[in-house]
Amino acid sequence: MRIKILVFLVVVFSLSIPNGFCANSITDNVIATGLDNMVLAYWPGTKQVCDSMLEGIKANNYLIVEPIVRVDDYQNSALKVYTDKCPNLSLNKDVFFDHRIYDYAMTLPEKEQDELGIVRYQTKDFRIYHIDLDGDPENGKEFVYYGAGEQIAWSGEFIDTSRFKLVDFSLCKEGGFYSTGISLDENSRSGIISYNNTYYIYALDYSKHENMFFLRIARWEKRWSGWSETGELLGVCRFKLNKP
């Protein structure tokens, strides 16, 4: 499967993920009255999907997908089984550029990119998923990496964001980025679910300012570039509900 490298940033409030947290449900500890008042805000063309998913969430009619690896140390041997396949690929590293110089920056070697852009590293809750993300059994399952607790390299400042990435360990390439944030609220979380034979990324985060949870859902969308099929991770649903 060809991967189109894309950064899809979700505008969220201050977020981070509790270490070692593992939810049995997207909405564990969020009381039913909140779910009953959940409101849908959807992207164009996805109303039917999101209406169905809203009912599925309320009925707990989905499966939480467990990662095949979940550790808090990037050097953990369980994670290195995969990262050592591509020693020149730093999955926990991202470099951000001003949009005006992005195309130019992509022509530079890594060292010069690091000097020109803002380097961030994910520092905790590292995961590897192995799922048929694109829904095409002919090309097999895809690997999805997740890391949280991003830190800006030059300042040491931590920012409450996390990152999902599609990874091809056979070609040592990454792409299909989906960035989100997870707040310090004990009910905030992110992960992958299976619903109606499709895999979705979810992020449940909490806004102190609005005293409200926001649940964002994304999925892999196929695209065509010329004669080649590619794809990207795109947001499809956004729900909100009051915190009890």
Q: What is the pLDDT of residues 80-116, one digit of tens each?
A: 999 999 999 999 988 878 878 878 878 888 888 878 8
The string of DSSP letters for 132-159 reads: -TTS-GGG--EEEEEEE-EEETTT--EE
Our measurement of the distance from residue 177's CA atom to the centroid of its chain's CA atoms, rounded to an integer in Å, reads 7
Q: Rounded mean pLDDT of the chain?
A: 76
E strands, the chain, in order: 39-42, 63-65, 69-71, 93-96, 118-121, 124-131, 142-148, 150-152, 158-159, 162-168, 173-180, 189-195, 198-207, 212-225, 228-242
Please tell me the distance from the alpha carbon of residue 144 to that of residue 168, in angstroms, as a whole number: 9
Q: 39 or 167: whose pLDDT is higher?
A: 167
Q: Parse the chain into domains and list their residue ranges.
A: 32-242
pLDDT value of position 97: 80
Please tell me the distance from the alpha carbon of residue 13 to that of residue 28, in angstroms, as a whole number: 20
- 150 neighbors 139 (Cβ within 8 angstroms): no
Percent of the chain whose pLDDT exceeds 90? 21
Query: Taking residues 2-13, what's their average pLDDT?
Result: 33
Would you say residue 68 has pLDDT above 90? yes
| Burial class of residue 156 in the structure, from the number of CB atoms within 10 Å of its CB (0-12 exposed, 13-18 middle, 19+ buried) | exposed
| Burial class of residue 83 in the structure, from the number of CB atoms within 10 Å of its CB (0-12 exposed, 13-18 middle, 19+ buried) | buried
What pLDDT, in 10s, does the model give residues 153-211? Answer: 777 777 777 889 889 999 998 876 676 665 555 667 889 999 988 999 888 877 777 77
- 157 neighbors 220 (Cβ within 8 angstroms): no
CB atoms within 10 A of CB 49: 19
Residue type, 77: S
What pLDDT, in 10s, does the model give residues 124-165? Answer: 899 999 999 888 888 889 999 999 887 787 777 777 778 898
pLDDT value of position 109: 84
Q: Closest Cα partner for 1 from 133, 139, 135?
A: 139
pLDDT value of position 42: 66
